[in-house]
Amino acid sequence: EQCSSGQLEKASLQKLSDELNKTEGLGSVGGHVGTSSCGSKTKTYLENESEEDNIRIETGLEFIRENDFLKFDEDLYFGSDEYSTFRREQLSLVELVRSFIREVKGVRALPLGSSSDKPNGANDEYNKMSWCFYPYQLKNLVGVEISIYQILKDFYYKVLKKELPGGHLPVLESYLRDIEQSSLRAITNVEYANDMRNDSLEDPYLYVASHPLLMYRMIRRFVEDLQHILLDLEEYEDLIEALYYNANPQSLVFPTNQDLKDALDSILRTQEGTSLNTLEFARGKMDKLQTDIHVSALHALEIGAYYITEKNYAFAVEWLYYALDTISVSKSFVVEKYPIIEKFFRKTFNHAIELHNENWETVSTNYWNLNVFHTKITPPYNPRSYVRMKELMKEEAARSRNNLEWNWAISVNFMHVCAGKNLQTEKEKSGLSCWLQRKHNPYWVINPLKMELLNRDPPVYQIYDFIGDKLIAKIKNAAVSGLERSTVVDRNDASRSIVEQTRTSSQTWIYDNKGSGKFLLPLSYRMQLMSQLTLVPPESCDAYQVANYGPSHHYAPHIDSFEDPRRCISKGNRILTIMGYLSHVKAGGRTGFPILGVAAEPVKGSIVMWYNLKKNGNDRDMRTWHGGCPVVFGVKWITNKWVYYKENFRDFPCGLNPEE
C-alpha cells in the first residue's frame, strides 16, 4: 500500500525539483528525490531521471577556458630526455597524475612542504586522528566547507560584477561548481526529502560525510583546489581572514595528503570488499541504491592510478577505461583542442594493462590478492571479455567451506556474502524460517519474539524489533563522544590490543551495572530472559561494546571466543554473542558468515545471536567465522554483548557427544 503511493509523490517531487533547478547558483541542481517506505525500513533515494542523464558524465574539464589552459609541460609527461625521466622517477604514479590534473586545470603546483603536506598547528595528537575514520567529525568539516563556499561565491560574484578588483577566476569557478555538483546537490536533496517527511529527519551533513564518493571529492577539494585558491587570493586579506575564522569557528585542522590517500583507500576497500561493479560505482550506484553522485574522468584517473599502486590491477584497468571512455565521448572543448589530454589518459590506461599483464601470473596464484583478470589482456581491451579472478574462484571457495582454519577461501566467501549472495546449499537452507516465539515465559506471550533462523547448524538467529528506537537513541547519545578507533588482539602478544586495518570501526564501552549506563539494565534482563543464560552479574558478561562504522569500515572475519586460554581464566570463554543493530545502513554493512555462507542484513532494532563454543563448553566452534562487511554508504551502529561460560556452565545446552 505505502509503497505504491509513489505516483502522486513523484508529481509533487517533480515540481519541487523544477523549482530547485531554478534556484540561484552557478549550475543546476539536478536529480530527483524519491522516498518510499516499506515496513519499518524507510529509504530515501536520489535517482537519475533517464539514461541520457546517466550519460552526461563530467570530465572535470568543463570549466577550463582556452586561455586558461596554461603552457602544458608536455616534456614532463612524454619527453625522453634525462630531466623528464628524472622528474618522472621522482614522482609516484598518483603524484604524477595529480600534477597532470593541476596542469590541465591551470593551477599552480604547491611549493614543497606547503600546507597540504603539514597543516599549521599540526601535532602528534592530530596526526593520530584521520578524517576518514570518523564520520561524525567529518560532518563538521562538511559544514565548514559549505561556509567557505558561501563566502567564496559571494566574492566570486563581486569580482564578476566588478564591485571588487580582479580578473577571471577559473580555478575558483571550477571549485564552486565542484561543490555544487556534489556536496551541495546532496544536501539540497536531503533537505527537500526531510521537508516531505514526518518521521525522523536525516542529517544532510552526515549524508555527505558517509558517502564514499562525496567524501573523496570533498577531501580532494580541501587538499588540492582550496590550497591553490588561498594562494591565489592571498592579497585579499579580509577574505582570507573570513575563510579561516568565520567559516571555521572550531578551528578544525584541514585534511592533509594522508587524508586524501585514506579517502582513495576507502573507495578501494569498499569496492573490493563488496565486489561493486566499477561503472555503476563511478556513477553513484552503492550496492542496490542509486545515488545522484558520480565522479568525473579526472577523478577516475586519480582513482585508477591509486588502484595501480595498490596492485589492484583489474579494477585499475576498469577505472582507467572508464576515465578514457568518458573523455573520448565527451564533446569537451578542451579535450578536442588539446589532444595531449587524451594521450595522457591513454598512456595511463595502457600502463595499467602492461602492469596487469606483467603481474598477472603471480597475482592470479596469490590467493590473498586475486585482483587481476582471469587471463592476460590482449588489446584492444573489451571490458565484457574479462572476469576478475576473485569472481572466478567463487565456486572453488564455496566448495572449500569445510576448511575451518583461516584460509583464502574464507576471505573470498566473505566478499560474496557481503555482496548479498547466499552460498548455502538447498540442504542447509531447508528448515530455515521465521516465527513468533511465545515459549518460556508469559512475558513473551503478550510480546512474542520475532525470530528468524539464518542457519540451522550451528544456529544463528536474527530477532527483530528487540531494541526500541528510544533506547537506541539513548545508547548512541551515550556513545558518540567516546568513540575511538577499534583495536584487535595482537597476534604476537595476546595481552595487547592494537589498531589494525582488519578492523576499522571506532567504538566505546558502556557498563550496565554502574554509573550512567544503568539505563541499559532492562535490556540486559530482556536478553537474559530471551537467551535463558545469566548475563547481568558483571562476571558473566562484558559491558556493552558500541561500535560505529563509516564508509569502507569493516571488521574482517574472526571468531568471538578467545584462542588464548589465558584470556579465559576468570570468566571462562565467550559462549554467546548477542549483536544488536542500532541503525539501518544505506548500503553494505551486513554481518557475513563465510563458512555458513550467509549474511545478516543490518535491520535497526534487530539482534543477531549465536554460540561461539561447541556444546562441550570448551572448544571454539570454528564454523562461526564472521565479520562486519564494509559499509558502502551511510553509517552503521552496532552493540555487542558477550556472555561468558563460568556463570553459565549449568545452563549452557550440552550434547551427548564430547566432540559436539
Ligand X SMILES: O=C(O)CCC(=O)C(=O)O
Residues that bind Fe ion (CB under 5 A): 560
* Minimum gap (Å) between residue 605 Cβ and Fe ion: 19
Cβ-based nearer residue to ligand X, 187 or 547: 547
Residues within window 612-641 making contact with ligand X, judged by CB under 6 A: 626-628, 638, 640
* Minimum gap (Å) between residue 458 Cβ and Fe ion: 14
* Minimum gap (Å) between residue 507 Cβ and Fe ion: 12
Cβ-based nearer residue to Fe ion, 224 or 560: 560
Cβ-based nearer residue to Fe ion, 46 or 576: 576
* Minimum gap (Å) between residue 640 Cβ and ligand X: 5
Residue nearest to ligand X (CB): 628
Q: Which does 591 bind (CB under 5 to 8 A by kind): ligand X, Fe ion, none?
A: ligand X
* Minimum gap (Å) between residue 229 Cβ and ligand X: 40
Q: How many residues belong to the site for ligand X (CB under 6 A)?
A: 10
**Per-residue cell: 242:** 573570513
Q: Which does 303 bind (CB under 5 to 8 A by kind): Fe ion, ligand X, none?
A: none
Q: Which does 461 bind (CB under 5 to 8 A by kind): Fe ion, ligand X, none?
A: none
Q: Which does 270 bind (CB under 5 to 8 A by kind): ligand X, Fe ion, none?
A: none
CB 327 within 8 A of CB 338: no
Q: CA–CA separation, 197 vs 422, rounded Å?
A: 34
Closest CA to 134 of 193, 223, 201, 219: 219
Q: Which does 262 bind (CB under 5 to 8 A by kind): Fe ion, ligand X, none?
A: none
Q: Which does 630 bind (CB under 5 to 8 A by kind): ligand X, Fe ion, none?
A: none
Q: Which does 628 bind (CB under 5 to 8 A by kind): ligand X, Fe ion, none?
A: ligand X
Q: Which does 638 bind (CB under 5 to 8 A by kind): ligand X, Fe ion, none?
A: ligand X
Closest CA to 263 of 504, 590, 551: 551
Cβ-based nearer residue to ligand X, 216 or 637: 637
The one among 207, 555, 625, 633 contacting ligand X by CB under 6 A: 555
24-31 CB contacts, 8 Å cutoff, 24+ apart: 25/180, 25/184, 26/153, 26/173, 26/176, 26/177, 26/180, 27/177, 27/180, 27/181, 29/180, 29/184, 29/185, 29/188, 29/189, 30/185, 30/292, 31/185, 31/189, 31/292
Closest CA to 560 of 585, 582, 593: 593
Q: What's at 551, amino acid-wise?
A: P
Cβ-based nearer residue to ligand X, 246 or 501: 501
* Minimum gap (Å) between residue 518 Cβ and ligand X: 23
Contacts (Cβ under 8 Å, ≥6 apart) of 418: 273, 274, 275, 588, 590, 592, 599, 629, 630
H/E stretch holding 360: helix 339-365
* Chain centre distance of CA 395: 27
Please, what is the angle between helix 135-160 and helix 212-220, to 10°? 50
Encoded one letter per residue, x for contact with ligand X by CB under 6 A and - for no contact, window 567-596 reads ------------x-----------x-----
* Minimum gap (Å) between residue 603 Cβ and Fe ion: 18
* Minimum gap (Å) between residue 554 Cβ and ligand X: 8
CB 278 within 8 A of CB 322: yes
Q: CA–CA separation, 344 vs 305, rounded Å?
A: 12
* Minimum gap (Å) between residue 71 Cβ and Fe ion: 57
Q: CA–CA separation, 98 vs 95, rounded Å?
A: 5
Closest CA to 591 of 642, 631, 562, 622: 631
Q: Which does 226 bind (CB under 5 to 8 A by kind): Fe ion, ligand X, none?
A: none
State the sign of the Cα–Cα–Cα–Cα dihedral 13, 585, 533, 613. positive
Encoded one letter per residue, x for contact with ligand X by CB under 6 A and - for no contact, window 314-353 reads ----------------------------------------
H/E stretch holding 34: strand 32-38
Q: CA triplet 320, 390, 213: central angle to 5 degrees?
A: 45
The one among 262, 292, 318, 560 contacting ligand X by CB under 6 A: 560
Q: Which residues bind ligand X (CB under 6 A)?
A: 547, 555, 560, 579, 591, 626-628, 638, 640
